[in-house]
Amino acid sequence: MATLWQLRLLSEVVVRANWMTRRKDGTLNRWLSDSLEKKVPANAKPVQGVSTMDVIIDAEAGIWARLFIPTQEMEVTPLQTAADGTQSDFTKKLPVIFYYHGGGFAVLCPNHNMYDKFCRRLARTCGAVVISVHYRRSPEHKFPVAYDDSYKAFEWLQSEEATPHMPPNVDYSRVFLSGDSAGGNIAHHVALRAAGKDLGRVKLKGLIIIQGFFGGEERTPAELQLKNVPIVSVDTLDWHWKAYLPKDANRDHPACNIFGPNSQDLSQIPFPPVLNIIGKLDILQDWEQRYSEGMKKAGKEVQTLVYEDGIHTFGLLNQVKLAPQMLVDIVNFINAQQ
């Protein structure tokens, strides 16, 4: 696990690498960006109690997913014991966590070393099948492509095409949408598209937003006051939103500002219970808090958890103490949605 000072060093490397790949005309050197990302292959042999496989969902569009499947033979670790004393039981049916990776809609992927490790921990700790989705990225593919691809992947789970790739004890009646940063934003919009639709065998039980990438035209106190925090900056947020949003759109676009002046009323739209995870060293925290407030005002069930020393994507980066606690909190949320 990484300490805060180690994460600050890592952040400096990440930030410099990201700026190296960005061209002055707003495009991205995709070859260089992908080359800088450390990728790992899928492994059918269980590693730390979880096997992985890659499946193609739409070859023409380039939509695919990495499946993380916990094995029944593994031993229960302390992390699998939730706060209420319950433990993940790998002999029972496994819920599904549909996961969307972060990266500001522009970078990263399910086979990135960090996401492979994180989704493996998530599958192992929660006793769940994790489906980590790869969608087309900006700026080559702007709004709404990431949402379209991500929803198409969710439709794949509803179809019989997914069945041969799933373990026999998968539980389609307990499916959760999740993601970190831009992936958390995507999870919200996929849930919005799914609302009120016949999802076939899939029953959507919850939404797990991990430090969602939301925003707006206004500069919030956290954006103005938190200086030199790891991973993200106001300039970084500006670049990624410009790369993803339609030409000439501002940050009050409904993709970004969920409860802004141009957004739809969610009060009559059915949503599953929401777990909203926030870090206090994240400049996005004010927008994430507003997400909770807006969802509650719209009549949705929301649990908000704030981690005092959490930097942006502290779970993915395995920040010491906080990342394991976050996983236990996710277990508790999943166990509560029966």
Residues with catalytic function: 181
Contact criterion met (CB below 8 Å) for 203 and 172? yes
Cα angle vertex 137, ends 133, 138, to 5°?
A: 155
Contact criterion met (CB below 8 Å) for 132 and 65? yes
Where on the phi/psi map is residue 228: left (φ > 0), alpha (ψ -120 to 50), or beta?
left
Sheet holding 63-70, edge to edge: 50-58, 63-70, 129-134, 94-100, 170-180, 204-210, 274-281, 302-311
Contact criterion met (CB below 8 Å) for 189 and 106? no
Q: What are phi and psi of 149, to 5 degrees?
A: -65, -40
For the chain, the C-alpha Rg in angstroms (whole number) is 19
Q: Which residues contact 197 (CB under 8 A, 6 or more apart)?
A: none
Contact criterion met (CB below 8 Å) for 88 and 125? yes
Closest CA to 260 of 291, 233, 220: 291
